[in-house]
A and B are shown apart, each in its own frame.
Chain A
């Protein structure tokens, strides 16, 4: 079974490729770049002229709402949306129902994923049993079952001793710990960034310190335990600076940012637009610029979707009473590409933040198109314009804050292990 991707512009940052180049695939693997391997026979030829060919996107955080909240979305619906958006690998946090803290739940997710094979799901195991923050989960078992890291998601680990031991134990099995930095006593009931907008609208607010306090505490523990730590979805400029300093000091820490935090600020809440209710909250313009700066200087190495699809009703409530979260799978690639137009970053660097870097954070041999690598591939038309609307969003969640934005860059083909899982 040979596939010939013909005439496309290949961008593969891990291999420093950024030029017109054909790609040849056999048995789900890349077997030729530029020229066909000996004896290659194309069963399928994909015409990629005028298009960009890149490794499939690795999204470090997306929720499918399954198991537990299937009325919002399912693994089938959301991996289909992922495929339509050029995403081939997604990390699933453990705050499912049941909670992903046993190998049995990992199994369940793998089975569901096999049945709906539009993208590969990499589960993150719970750091503590039931995410309750008290007892360690069976991290070894979770790793054996296929978890690529551990995290307590948005649930607090109030006891510093428990967090320290969890880090030590995770380090024992070389598991990366995914940290969502939040001091819950400072967040307490807040739903908007503490600043000008929350002051004007009278919204219960989340101060910047809710993030920076947690980052400071966690960095101290990372330093002591030596665990490989990944900070998820930073929202404040100050946190970026703290991580930057820690990296400079040689700590094994990485960080990502959600695409919406690179574009929106609390100003976008306008008069209580519930689609802008998200955690961590949209902060102010300076924070947005600080996150972009962090991406430029490499402190933040990955862009993720932090996709959280909702049914319509979830957002039909006054701002704070609406459920937090945004539907962002469909917009991840075009919004990331748009950065090259807005700040001093190349398309190749942006693509690295979606492929090579998240692969490095996960420590997996994916996110590149070297010879012998699995053929997870995204092909997009860089000049195609489309408008975000409930009809153009493939995700079952229509809760996008980018409604009516005109975006550039549209996926035409997605291949997962050499299989075409989406074509437009």
Chain B
């Protein structure tokens, strides 16, 4: 594969964080361990560590997002970095200003890191390929390709409840075809040694060659949930009702929504996850989302620690100054 190493520096350390695919297990474990160290920062009186003091991080969001942007912002601030948020409507880039023009303008503001969210698969790689060498890119979600910090915060949450990845059966349920979250989770689960990763969904929402992701496919949810340790529900975009992918939310809920009855097929101590925001009664029953097996709100909390870990690892590489110079 071309450009596989674009996110690693010459010493194999993360210089961008674009995708989980291709990263080795020690790198992922390192992110999780570092996040573990940061997880208490938010509970202190002074919720700050000085690691990235003097650094400037720009959140470039070409797609609307509140939760992801807020957790990135909080993560950066708790590391003492300065943060600017830019919500860029895609219309401004169609007015003749190319993405690259915009990139050059932002570079001129002397930022150290861009967190990029964009609706097109490959946008983060595109920025990483063209950005000035001293700037790092964190992928905050690109099209249907990857959302690696979400993937890692999900791994962090799983590890807290089920410390041994090699003993797990995990099911990811819903719209796999369009989900960047699912792709990142699947790569992370496989790299961390989970022996059985399942995807469950209707044929219209499963990509053409799921084998290439290293997963077992189930179209019957009851069969797919049998004896799993972790159930990850994906958000269903309402626009999927157009384009003849699904007939109705109601039918989707009956076939692939997580109800208490269906959850009962998983292991009794199985945890339930969801990247949010939740469509109650569409992909998940309220009683499950708010129930004892749900770790959905923990995921949000953990998101900050994991993003702190990634940012500090990418920006705080000792010896990086000489390399860049």
Contacts and interface: CB of A to CB of B under 8 A. Distances in A.
Interface of A: 194-205, 207, 267-268, 270-274, 313, 316-321
Contacts of A196: 208-209, 211-212
5 contacts: A199-B212, A202-B178, A273-B2, A316-B100, A320-B121
Contact of B121 (A194, A268, A316, A318): A318
B98 A272 contact: no
A318 B122 contact: yes
Contacts of B183: 200, 202
B79 to A, nearest CB: 28
Nearest to A321: B120
B2 to A, nearest CB: 3
B122 A200 contact: no
A202 B146 contact: yes
Contacts of B125: 271-272, 318
B208 A272 contact: no
Interface stretch (B32-40, B137-145, B228-236, B304-312): B137-145
A316 B122 contact: no
B3 interface: yes
Given A271-B122, A271-B125, A201 B99 contact: no
A318 B123 contact: yes
Given A270-B2, A317-B98, A198 B207 contact: yes
A317 B99 contact: yes
Contacts of A195: 208-209
Instruction: Please provide the 4 A-B residue pairs with the shortest distance between their CB atoms, ordered closest to farther.
Output: A270-B2, A202-B144, A272-B122, A202-B145
A352 B142 CA distance: 46
Contacts of A274: 126
Nearest to B120: A318
Nearest to B3: A271
Given A196-B209, A199-B208, A207-B208, A316 B120 contact: no
B213 interface: yes
B82 interface: no
A271 B143 contact: no
B276 interface: no
Nearest to B7: A271
B8 interface: no
Interface residues of B, number: 32
A56 B2 CA distance: 36
Given A204-B144, A316-B99, 4 more contacts: A203-B144, A271-B122, A272-B122, A319-B122
B208 A318 contact: no
Given A200-B21, A203-B121, A207-B208, A318 B126 contact: yes
A320 B125 CA distance: 13
A201 B145 contact: yes
A305 to B, nearest CB: 23
Nearest to B128: A271
Contact of B130 (A194, A198, A316, A321): A316
Contacts of B121: 201-204, 272, 318-320
Interface in B143-173: 143-146
Contacts of B143: 202-203, 318, 320
Interface in B197-211: 207-211
Interface string B46-68: 00000000000000000000000
A38 B123 CA distance: 68
A205 B145 CA distance: 13
B118 interface: yes
A317 B142 CA distance: 13
Contacts of B142: 202, 318
A194 B146 contact: no
Contact of A320 (B122, B146, B207): B122
B6 interface: yes
B1 interface: yes
Contacts of A268: 2
Nearest to B19: A271
Contacts of B117: none
A199 B212 CA distance: 7
A318 B102 CA distance: 14
A200 B214 CA distance: 10
A328 B214 CA distance: 36
Interface in B1-20: 1-4, 6
Contacts of B118: 318
A279 B205 CA distance: 24
Contacts of A320: 120-122, 143
A272 B142 CA distance: 12
Nearest to A320: B120
A320 B90 CA distance: 14
B180 interface: yes
A318 to B, nearest CB: 4
B197 to A, nearest CB: 14
Contact of A199 (B1, B146, B210): B210
Contacts of A204: 121, 144
Contacts of A201: 121-122, 145
Contacts of B2: 268, 270-271, 273
B166 to A, nearest CB: 24
Contacts of B209: 195-196, 199
A205 B144 CA distance: 11
